[in-house]
Structure 1
Amino acid sequence: MIHQPKLAQWQGAFKDSLLDVGVSPYNGFTYDHIHGTKVGGTLFDRFGRRHTAAELLASANPKMLTVLVYATVQKVLFDQTGRRSTAMGVIFKDENGNQHQAFLTNNRRSEVILSCGAIGTPQMLMLSGIGPKAELDKLNISMVLRNEFVGKGMADNPMNSVFVPTNRPVEQSLIQTVGITKTGVYIESSSGFGQSQDSIRCHHGILSAEIGQLSTIPPKQRTPEAIQAFIKRKRDLPHEAFKGGFILEKIARPISTGHLNLVNTNIDDNPSVTFNYFHHPHDLQRCVDGIRMAAKVIQSKHFTNFTRCDKPTVEKLLNMSVKANINLIPKHTNDTKSLEQFCKDTVITIWHYHGGCHVGKVVDPDLKVLGTNRLRIVDGSTFNESPGTNPQGTVLMMGRYMGVKILRRRLGKAAHV
């Protein structure tokens, strides 16, 4: 359940600043993604309790669902004796590393549904023998079905942040207010992350950069010593860079896309993913426009009155922002002179990964994998675009829609019989 948030003071100043620089009209509290400035929903109710998607299970029938908690699927199994390859089950590994096989029943309506996400699903398809010929051949994977589009068109909504200096204590606030421009740039803000050294973890952008940095260490090499070295690098960052808050700008519906490639045949190892952030000049220009808008917001009288800071120059803001950014991209000397270079060097993810199994290329309109029987994909890998705000609600609605659609078709067939 989504609730209306109690607007923090920081968010109120941010809202007034957005309207002051022309991100209008003010649309109030709404779930709609419409041009202007609005207040979005929160998972926290008025008592401070957080409500999650797990609550949806309260409406489910537990007798109809079996969950193997520590099981990880290794590949999909196919019967290739017919004209079309037919999914017949999966191989999975339990918590002790032992492999098992699970097979579909003889009921033709039963099927394998992949929901491994935009990165996991194309990886799973390729490891199961469905994908580009060159990709499968290089790892000696037996081909079940050739499809050159698996793993193609990978996209992510790029995000950049601009640091907001403050001379007063500010309360911690996650994103509540958002400005949506007509060019598809989302302007958001978070605050209160400089009260302690460890509070940096709470910031969207910094947290995503930390996770991205840690993920570059292969799982088997994540020893206690390696993790401590990682934490030390974080603590060596200039502490003054985190006193205040951040203005975030994100690009909705990016045109730039990339690809996913297998590194090996181990499902537990991450594949190689290239998103090609800002490869298309239109995406880069929108980022530049977003950074300029963020700077105007910080320089507006509403924000300077609230932060009790003199109106900072754009170069000062960018200098502090480069220091605060901890991604692994090498920085350039002209980061504060070229907004284009600033965008490229300070880009971070906000986990809006999508693509890799697009409708019409990998799956049909019912999300069934083309060229196969009894195999369907229900996740963000089928999306051509992802919303500028959190895609969780979109994915949940997708699951609900497909679940109802599948059940209705099954009931319709049963009634007809």
Structure 2
Amino acid sequence: MPRRSIVLVLAALAKAVSSALFTDVGQLSKTEYDFVIVGAGAAGNVLASRLTESKEFSVLVIEAGVTDQGVLGIEVPFLAPTNQPMTAVTWNFTTTPQTSLAGRVLNYPRGRVLGGSSSINFLTYTRGSNEEYDRWAELTGDSGWAWDNVAQFYFKSSRLVPPVDGHSTAGDFNPADHGNGPIEVSLPGMPTEIDNRVINTSKQSGSEFPFNIDLQSGNAVGVGLAQSTIGGGARSSSSTAYLTPVLNRTNLDVLIQTTVTRLISSGSSENPIFRTVEVAANASSKRSTVSAKKEVILSAGSIGTPQILMLSGIGDQTALKKLGIKTLLNLPDVGQNLQDHPIMSNYFLVNSNNTFDDVLRNTSILDADLAQWTNNRTGLFGNAPGNAVAFLRLPNNAAIFKQFKDPSAGPQSAHFEFIFADGFAATVQPQPATGHFLTINSAVVSPISKGSVTLNSTNPFEFPIINPNFFSSPFDQAVMLQAVKTARSFVAASPWAGFVQSRFGPVGDAETDDEIIAASKQSIVTIFHPVCTARMSPKDASWGVVDPQLLVKGATGLRIVDASIFPIIPAAHTVGPTYIVAERAAQLIKDAWS
């Protein structure tokens, strides 16, 4: 979105008003709780809500960021892109130069606000196939992670609500595939000119682009309308759904604008106990401590969690020694195995004046749409930027499978994803001054490439070194190449006749396979799905960071509950699986301490 069009939006970031929140550790009435949760993101807020259902448990949540209350860019679904990359509500991380992306340094934002990245993501909601969780069970040696056993936690986490315009969605989803949880999910509430074209292309194609009435069905392959974390025209995040409704509980305290600098160990070197958390408001402020009687739970995300572990002496002994950090637990997997979904945009010029392009160019139109949303939460701004999605697979006989084993979870799990937008979705390339566009964002959702998160220094206020290592595997390159060709084939179908005029931009100009790969290397960014940096493994395995109960191996009093524990990345938008993990973890914790 052009800078002139977002000034009013971003100006609201500093106007948030907090209630029932503490901003200084000195405001707390006590320094010891049953549970101390580090991070108020997608997982941390689930834990805060579920654990404080038991009045016997006292809980403190510590969040480095600010409140989400009153932040317009968070609340307004269509304005989700204004939260990134460099704003007051994000960790403004960047990556190392990406060797396989022509040395480009990418912005790598994560949520630094109540709700974490569930407050700043682009709202698309998928849980992944049943196969994803069955694979987790196989990798961890624990059947408790199989779909049949975690399904209850999916149904407990979210529910489908009416779209913002209230139109009937009968026949657009399967009610049996949805639960009755706090996170509100809805179908598009303002149909666009591309929605029927997407669906009709799918239905006419047969098996080439299979239609899937509900991607939450357990079969996560197919084309369908997007389901987004929106309720009543506003974003539904872990903060709005789980935390805000329970802030008045007397057994819950929430401390914001406070950074956890490290965990402090007690006990013996053979059995370190981590029940004390050191915090500070900023790099120059005094360090203070709070303690947990039962557990410290790290929910700081796939970047923050490994950083805190390493600063606390938990990680690879050789790497820690180089920084002068005493190793308390030698767990070489900490910060390793980082996986993410690379994404880029395929642009097409279209014969239309109804795309959202003019909204982004014309401040008057933007202001009118924003005023409509402010008045009644309706209109364009009450919807996510994308109305339709597709999760598709490579052909079974794809040549790349002669070189690589299929990394997907199974035949009902995708290799790549499309997110369709009725306008120019600016990522690397800025929006043109004229013209109307269709964007098909293509992502590799079963990648092989792996990266890492490592310490830059012993200063907890200095960002870690983040290397997602995008596109380093030839398999990922082959998948993106196929995705580009499939996108072009998709819009060549009859429903697009007279609408799509031509390809646009560097990817659009590329003709040969080599040209498409070269253009991809200049166009790929993150879809904001980092996972696996504190991965789960069988209890007795020498690899991994946590066991299937999410307890840190070799430690007492320390558990991790966030997307860093995923044993492998799912072919899904990761916030849904994170809610499932957190709901199950809450039950595990209750069972352990009841």
TM-score, L = length of structure 2 = 0.55
Note if contact 2:445-2:571 (Cα within 8 Å) is conserved in structure 1.
yes
The SS at the match of 2:213 is strand
Q: What is the letter of the counterpart of residue 241 of structure 2?
A: E
Matched with 2:199 is 15
8 Å Cα contact 1:154/1:355 also seen in 2: yes
C-alpha deviation, 1:304, in angstroms: 3.7
Superposition deviation, residue 170 in structure 1: 2.6
Over 3 Å counting, the alpha-carbon distance change for 1:241 and 1:154 in structure 2 is: farther
Matching residue of 2:536: 359
Equivalence for 2:278: 91
- Percent identical among aligned pairs is 23
Superimposed CA distance per residue, residues 332-386 of structure 1 (whole angstroms, 9 cap, x where no aligned partner):
x999852222232221101010111111211111111111111111011111333
Change (3 A) 1:296 1:317: farther
Question: Residue 132 of structure 2 aligns with which residue?
Answer: none
Q: Please state if 1:181 is matched with 2:397.
A: no
The 1:334/1:24 distance shift into structure 2, 3 A limit, reads closer
Q: What does residue range 2-401 of structure 1 map to in structure 2 within 5 Å?
A: 2-6=185-189, 7-20=191-204, 23-32=208-217, 33-45=219-231, 48-53=233-238, 54-57=240-243, 58=245, 62-81=249-268, 83-94=270-281, 97-105=285-293, 110-172=294-356, 174-183=385-394, 184-193=415-424, 203=425, 206=427, 237=430, 239-240=432-433, 243-307=436-500, 309=501, 312=502, 316-317=503-504, 319=506, 338-360=515-537, 361-401=544-584
- Cα distance change of structure 1 residues 191 and 388 upon mapping to structure 2, 3 Å threshold: farther
Q: Contact (CA 8 Å) 1:250, 1:388: kept in 2 or not? A: no
- Cα offsets for 1:31-61 (capped at 9, x unmatched): 235222122322334x534433322232676
SS state at 1:263 partner? coil
Kindly indicate whether the alpha-carbon contact (under 8 Å) linking 2:418 and 2:440 is maintained by their aligned counterparts in 1: yes
Distance 2:471 2:263 in 1: 35
Q: Against the structure 1 CA distance between its residues 26 and 335, is the aligned structure 2 distance closer, same or farther, given a 3 Å change threshold? A: closer
Q: Which amino acid is 2:221 matched to? A: H
Whole-angstrom CA distance in 2 between matches of 1:277 and 1:18: 30
Give the secondary structure class of the aligned counterpart of 1:90.
strand
Structure 1 CA distance, aligned partners of 2:434 and 2:467? 29
Structure 1 residues 363 and 115 mapped into 2: Cα distance closer, same or farther (>3 Å)? same
* Matches of 2:511 and 2:484, distance apart in 1: 15
- Provide closer, same or farther for how the CA distance between residues 320 and 358 of structure 1 changes in structure 2, counting only shifts above 3 A: closer
SS at 1:373's partner residue? coil
The 1:31/1:238 distance shift into structure 2, 3 A limit, reads: closer
List runs of 5+ in structure 2 lacking aligned partners.
1-183, 357-383, 395-414, 538-543
- The one-letter amino acid of 1:350's match is I
Against the structure 1 CA distance between its residues 253 and 117, is the aligned structure 2 distance closer, same or farther, given a 3 Å change threshold? same
Question: TM-score when scaled to structure 1?
Answer: 0.77
Question: Mean alpha-carbon deviation: is it higher for 340-349 or for 111-120?
Answer: 340-349
Residue 405 of structure 1: how far off its partner (Å): 1.7
1:256 alignment partner, SS class: coil
CA, structure 1 residues 157+99, in 2 after alignment: closer, same or farther (shift >3 Å)? same
The answer on whether the counterparts of 1:28 and 1:38 sit within 8 Å (CA) in structure 2 is yes
Q: How many residues align?
A: 352
Are 2:195 and 2:387, in contact at CA under 8 Å, matched by a contact in 1? yes
Q: SS of the residue aligned with 1:160?
A: strand
Q: Which residue of 1 aligns with 2:123?
A: none
Q: What stretches of structure 1 of length at least 5 have no aligned partner?
A: 194-202, 210-233, 323-332, 412-417
Give the root-mean-square deviation of aligned CA atoms.
2.6
Task: Work out whether 1:403 is the aligned partner of 2:586.
Answer: yes
Describe the shift of the 1:321–1:349 C-alpha distance in structure 2 as closer, same or farther (beyond 3 A): farther
